[in-house]
Chains A and B, each alone.
Chain A
Amino acid sequence: MGEKYTVDGDIPPWTRLVDFLREKAKLCGTKVVCREAGCGICTVVITRPDLEHEGRYKTYSVPSCQTLLYACDGWSIESVENLGDRFTGYHSLQKALHGFTGTQCGYCSPGMIMHMYGQIQNGPLTMSQVERSLDGNLCRCTGYRPILDAFKSFAVDADQVLKNKLTDIERQ
């Protein structure tokens, strides 16, 4: 599926995953803003060996600005490009964020999508879990309400109105 990268000594040890993704892998869908894990914009989803359970893997979202490249040895990294695009079709989360008008300037959107994508990897969420999980992702434009609605529409206890809207969006 993904592309395999091997890095050697020509990349300095302090290189952050986000800079590698943008500069070397040329995957510029991941944005970078605060470089201190305060805004959530650079979020990617990683799968790495579960150190507590041998042979098993863990998948979750991380701020790629706080992930050193050399810490990613043997990990699988998913950036927003992997979810979908206008050529291959969009992921449901992308359709929902768009359909609920959860994007304005759009700068936080890839991070929002990847954050929620990471959250749903380990089973469905409740609306309350969606709300509580979003506090690491900043958005200045929307005031969050449409983003919350978009992601809550995937929740197990989602309001029927939200569910219907999601169904409509997916049909389009």
Chain B
Amino acid sequence: MTIGEAEYAVQAPTLPGELFGMFVTSTQANARIVSIDPTDALALPGVVAFVGKEDIQGKNDILSMEWPLSTEPLFPEERVSYYGQPLGLILTEGRDYAYAAVAAVKVTYDDIQPPVLSIDEALQSPLPDGQFPAFVQGDVQAGFATSTNIIEGAMGRDGQFHFAMETQVCIATPTDEGYDIVAGTQYAAETQRAVGQVLGIPDNRVNVTVKRIGGGFGSKISRCNIVATAAALGAQKTRRRVRLSLDYGDNMSIMGWREPYMCTYKVGVDDAGILQAVQATMTCDAGYIGVDISVGSAVQCIVSCYTCPNWEVTPQHVFTNTANNTWCRTPGTFEGIIFMENIMDHVAIALGMDPLEFRRKNLMPDGATRPVNEHMMRLRCAMAGNMAPTIPKEVTIPKNLINDMIDQIMISADVEARKQAVEAFNQANKWKKRGIAIMPQSWPHTVPASYPFNAMVSINVRDGTVTVSHGGTEMGQGINTKIAQCAAYELGIPLEMIAVKGSNTHTNANSQCTGGSLGSDIASYNVSIACRNLKQRLDDYKDTIGMPDISWPNLITLAYFNGIDICERYVNKNNEVKSYGVFGVAVTEVEVDVLTGQYMVLRTDILEDAGRSISPLVDIGQVEGAFIMGQGLFTTEKPMYDLVTGRKITNTTWYYKPPQAMDIPVDFRVTLLNNSPNPVGVQASKVTAEPPVCLSFSVVMALRQAITSARADGGTTGWFQIDTPMTVEKVQRLCLVDSSRLVLKST
């Protein structure tokens, strides 16, 4: 990687005869297509073909089993639904020719309607059909009746671009049997099925391979199929190799992002500060089509690590004239957890209680049950082609580690003393304010009943080295590292003897999507079991021949020549890999410049429950990266649209800002919880890729404290609504600096 030779889809240099593809995209967000005329474009030098919906010999649908109730056209049939929607593909002899050719394709529209771009606008119309069921426990009305305080509020949370460094890519090569597809996909099997479906050819004519991808974060689960099917279609039409590697602007416009969300709530609490009822409505903006909607699971994740007898949380999704929003690192789980933290802050402030003390009063007891993330389970089972009629309603958490973890971080992060220091600082400073917040969470790791990965372990006979492929996609989360460690551990041989290969749809056929933190978890499990079975077979053979001290290479050679199978395949059966809760606590301190709204994250401490980590360095990397990705979502990353045309304005690095090196906490301390093996986890571990994203909400909580102090100086107290991202200008406005306070000091 550090020398640039690691292989990604577009690592290969261009081959002679290869075509370069670029999408023709819509310049209207809500209109009927009258005509698409590529005549002028085809007359330009270097232009080979235009591929449109007329060229589709199979079905104009890029989804196969990813979400079986939905369809999504590769190219729209009648109307365009968002600005930047792909309408066709221009194929040229090279990138240089593509820009002019795409611009020369004439598209005409009529019935142009104003675009709907936000949740607020979409809620002006009736909700679309197919809304998900509410999460209900107990009776909220009874809960409100026993409450002495009723608190109502709202919070908005805007979308986020995944910002995988590698854009959506695919190279499709016609072969003597069909098509070789090298794609940047998190879900190779679905890409294979989608290509077969769109091209109208059998799936066994489509070979999809993926060695590694330059970041995924959920953006390459269903969205990769847009480029994969288009490239394959181009290869089918021209009988030439086609490369599609989106420019960043196209990538940001064509592809959907993390869903924007809005949450309204009404909470009842008694005089002792015990939650009585939580009633809330969460609304997500699904984009133009309802394919990857997370709100059904968000409502079930709201419980986090808290307890309350009565819940009624209603999910709704709306459609807008924006790209189809998609999975993004901890979808649904994220919204449930952070909206609940917002509620906890609101109630604590309304009651005049310390936010941490209020939280601790309402933590779930040991042995509490948590609702299973049923929507996500159903969805993922459906992705595996299994409709899973019986899904458990809840899972028991034998021990709530949060209390202990809070105790531990209070000491390790020196929270009490720092709280006092922050208070003193805020007393002494008018134009600089600090805030410190502590956030606990319980993240429901949900393994669907049916979620197979197809792992293959082969021992090579000459030297006993081992080759593994596992059906997951390496995208930086360290799946290959964990797999190699599991294989070496189970076989009892050095790590250097293990090589992990890329995934392909033959060796690892029908494997599930690498998402939801499930890839590393289940693939590690399957490789462990395959290796355990192999080891057992070899140990038995060793006993048979009575040579306990035989070296590994000699054992392998001997076994091989005596007809012992030295390869093993393993696929997890239904309900074999278990669900559990992942705990985490974060403490974040910020400093705000009241006059400008600029701020800095001074320090963040995270205590993360990784079980007995398979690979601590990988897991710490996951925790840190996840936290910073979430920090970006809550602070600097703001999607914006042209309200007239519906064009996404923030579709370049100049207008859309993920965190940079200087944005991270000045002092950043991540610790994995000691001595906490997970009894039901894979190799006693817990997943780490997604949960810590949620902990970044502690930045918003700390900002609230700092801003509250600034407002108090101007005489305004009490709760105020925060809609993220907390951009500099928003923080400045929330501080309510009145010009009357800006006077020169008279001495």
Contacts and interface: CB of A to CB of B under 8 A. Distances in A.
Contacts of B668: 143, 145
Nearest to B7: A28
Interface string A137-148: 111111111111
Given A39-B653, A103-B2, A14 B625 contact: no
Interface string A79-94: 1110111100010011
B3 A94 contact: yes
Interface stretch (B125-133, B341-349, B475-483, B561-569): B475-483
Interface string A9-29: 000101100010011001011
A106 B167 CA distance: 14
10 contacts: A95-B2, A106-B1, A106-B214, A107-B215, A107-B476, A113-B2, A131-B661, A143-B627, A144-B661, A146-B624
Give the one of B94, B166, B214, B618 with max A CB within 10 A: B214
B165 A33 contact: yes
A140 B658 contact: yes
B248 to A, nearest CB: 4
A108 B484 CA distance: 24
Contacts of A144: 628, 659-661, 664
A141 B476 contact: yes
A1 interface: no
Contact of B165 (A14, A41, A98): A41
Contacts of A147: 661
Contact of A135 (B627, B652, B661): B661
Main secondary structure of the interface of A (DSSP, over half): loop
Nearest to A147: B661
Contacts of B248: 33-36, 39
B8 interface: yes
Contact of A28 (B11, B627, B653, B660): B11
Interface string B199-220: 0000000000000111111000
Given A105-B164, A139-B165, A98 B617 contact: no
Contact of A138 (B5, B12, B477, B660): B660
Contacts of A76: none
A132 interface: yes
Given A85-B3, A90-B2, A147-B661, 11 more contacts: A31-B214, A35-B248, A80-B3, A81-B4, A94-B2, A94-B3, A98-B1, A101-B620, A104-B477, A107-B165, A109-B2
Given A29-B3, A84-B3, A140-B658, A105 B212 contact: yes
Given A85-B3, A90-B3, A104-B476, A145 B12 contact: no
A68 interface: no
A77 interface: no
Contact of A105 (B165, B247, B658): B165
B639 interface: no
Contact of A101 (B13, B617, B662): B617
Contacts of A94: 2-3
Interface of B: 1-6, 8, 11-14, 94-96, 162-167, 212-217, 247-248, 475-478, 617-618, 620-621, 624-629, 652-654, 658-662, 664, 668
A33 B4 contact: no
A110 interface: yes
A148 B661 CA distance: 8
A125 interface: no
A134 interface: yes
B628 A143 contact: yes
Contact of B661 (A36, A93, A137): A137
A95 B457 CA distance: 30
A33 B478 contact: no
Nearest to A19: B95
Contacts of A107: 8, 164-166, 214-215, 476
A14 B247 CA distance: 17
B165 A39 contact: yes
A101 B661 contact: no
Contacts of B625: 104, 140-143
A97 interface: yes
Give the one of A31, A83, A94, A113 with max B CB within 10 A: A31
A86 B4 CA distance: 11
Give the one of A23, A97, A135, A140 with max B CB within 10 A: A140
A74 interface: no
Given A33-B166, A135-B662, A85 B5 contact: yes
Shortest Cβ-Cβ A-B pairs, 8 listed = A29-B4, A38-B653, A105-B476, A106-B1, A107-B214, A143-B628, A104-B476, A110-B4
Contacts of A139: 165
A148 B668 CA distance: 12
Contact of B1 (A23, A103, A131, A146): A103
Contact of B4 (A19, A39, A80): A80
A26 B165 contact: no
Give the one of A14, A86, A103 with max B CB within 10 A: A103
A64 interface: no
Contacts of A132: 662
Nearest to B4: A29
A10 to B, nearest CB: 12
A30 interface: yes
A12 B95 CA distance: 12
A106 B164 CA distance: 11
B624 A145 contact: yes
B2 A141 contact: no
A31 B213 CA distance: 13
A143 B624 contact: yes
Contacts of A23: 13-14, 94
A142 B621 contact: yes
B164 A140 contact: yes
A38 to B, nearest CB: 3
Given A105-B165, A146-B624, A83 B3 contact: yes
A85 B8 CA distance: 17
B414 to A, nearest CB: 20
B214 A105 contact: yes
Contacts of B164: 105, 107, 140
A131 B666 CA distance: 11
Nearest to A80: B4
B24 to A, nearest CB: 19
A89 to B, nearest CB: 11
A48 B214 CA distance: 32
Contacts of B247: 35
A170 to B, nearest CB: 14
A38 B661 CA distance: 14
Contact of B213 (A34, A80, A95, A105): A105
Contacts of A33: 165-167, 248
Given A135-B662, A146-B621, A110 B217 contact: no
Contacts of A140: 162-165, 215, 217, 625, 629, 658
A84 B4 CA distance: 10
A98 B653 contact: no
